[in-house]
Amino acid sequence: MKEHGRNRSEPVDGLLLLNKPAGLTSNQALQRVKRLLNAKKAGHTGSLDPAATGMLPLCFGEATKVCAYLLNADKTYRVTARLGIATDTGDADGVEVERADVPDMSKEQWSAALQKFLGESMQIPPMYSALKKNGIRLYEMARKGETIERDPRPFRVYGIDLLEIAGTRLVFRVSCSKGTYIRVLVEDLARANGTVAHTANLHREIVGDFQEKDMLELSTMEAAAAEGVAVLRQHLLAPDVALACLSAVTVTMEEGQRFASGQANSLALQGESGLVRVYSPDKDFLGVGELSNVGQLAPRRVFLSRGKNS
């Protein structure tokens, strides 16, 4: 077995898609993988509650610059709701606060009830959330028994499908925008149908263009690291794969040098506008630029090129 060299952190660039296990906070999971990689800089996107499982994109080195774009990405979850029991946190980790009878509804009726949440709606964020009020996170207030007024926030549901209904267990898949609180969605669904509920299990399947099949188990990462840090680093995804939704623009060597130094370029492109991925003639990823409809390309995020991690 090869030595990890855990005390010698190094510049490591790329992403790993962790299937976060239950029982770890998102930051605990990040720190464990960061140590396995001996990486200097790391961040994650889209926190999952400790009880939740599923896709947690972990970003290292230059890839931390794509965190903001992944935070804005749409997401898909597999949700298991327990009908008839409400908890103070909205999930299975909370304390029971209310019970109610569960209506005798068919699978077709529950499916129709879910479809009413399609499109844009408003949600009141839960007290047990990471939002801040006057610099204090709401969950810190909630743990002290405090409750404050929260303003409703918009969210959008793109698709929602019933997978299973068995007794008080309701399972569905939902694709939604950033900022959607699944626990609140479950509570609102129950309330609209004359009962209460909490989220018994939450598994995130998709973030942006990243699919469930691309995730790695923590045990898989640990096994790879046990063979040597280079083995684990072979699983790293290039930073620009997180930006596949953006159009790609190739610039000349001279234009690329100006882009890398923070200068704008005038390109022979007309009519296109918005954020784009910028590449050199050798297909090296240079960063994210903003293109105006008259061909002006301004740097927004410049990426260093350090070659392949080893």
Is residue 181 within 8 A of residue 129, CB to CB? The reply is yes
Helix H, strand E, coil C: the string for the chain is CCCCCCCCCECCCEEEEEEECCCCCHHHHHHHHHHHHCECCEEECCCCCCCCEEEEEEEEHHHHHHHHHHHCCCEEEEEEEEECEEECCCECCCCEEEECCCCCCCHHHHHHHHHCCCEEEEECCCCCCCCEECCEEHHHHHHCCCCCCCCCEEEEEEEEEEEEEECCEEEEEEEECCCCCHHHHHHHHHHHCCCCEEEEEEEEEEECCECHHHCEEHHHHHHHHHCCHHHHHCCCECHHHHHCCCEEEECCHHHHHHHHCCCCEECCCCCCCEEEEEECCCCCEEEEEEECCCCEEEEEEECCCCCCCC
Q: Which residues in the chain are classed under CATH 2.30.130.10?
A: 246-300
At residue 127, the pLDDT reads 76
Q: Is 49 a catalytic residue?
A: yes
DSSP 155-188: EEEEEEEEEEEETTEEEEEEEE-TT--HHHHHHH
Q: For residue 282, count other CB atoms closer than 10 A to its CB.
A: 9
DSSP 56-105: EEEEEGGGGGGHHHHHTS-EEEEEEEEETEEESSSBTTS-EEEE-PPP--
At residue 50, the pLDDT reads 87
Element (H, E) at 153: strand 153-166
CATH value of 75-207 in 3.90.226.10, 3.90.1570.10, 3.30.2350.10, 3.30.390.50: 3.30.2350.10
Fold of 246-300: 2.30.130
Q: Is the overall model pTM greater than 0.85, yes or no?
A: yes
Bridge-based pairing of strands 216-217 and 274-279 is: unpaired
Least Cα distance to 73 among 40, 98, 34, 46 occurs for 46
Helix axes 218-226, 26-37, angle to 10 degrees: 20
Among residues 49, 88, 91, 240, the one annotated as catalytic is 49
Per-residue pLDDT of the chain (310 residues; tens, 9 = 90+): 444 444 578 889 999 999 999 999 999 999 999 999 999 999 998 888 888 999 999 999 999 999 888 888 999 999 999 999 999 999 998 999 999 999 999 999 999 999 999 999 999 888 777 777 778 777 788 787 878 888 889 999 999 999 999 999 999 999 999 989 999 999 999 999 999 999 999 999 999 999 999 999 999 999 999 999 999 999 999 999 999 989 999 999 999 999 999 999 988 776 678 999 999 999 999 999 999 988 899 999 999 875 545 4
Q: For residue 70, count other CB atoms closer than 10 A to its CB.
A: 23
Structure tokens at 68: 């903001």
Query: Which residue type occupies 17?
Result: L
Q: Which residues in the chain are classed under CATH 3.30.2350.10?
A: 14-72+210-240, 75-207
HSE on the CB side for 191, CA within 13 Å?
11
| Domain 14-72+210-240 coded CATH 3.30.2350.10 | yes
At residue 3, the pLDDT reads 43
End-to-end CA distance of the chain: 17
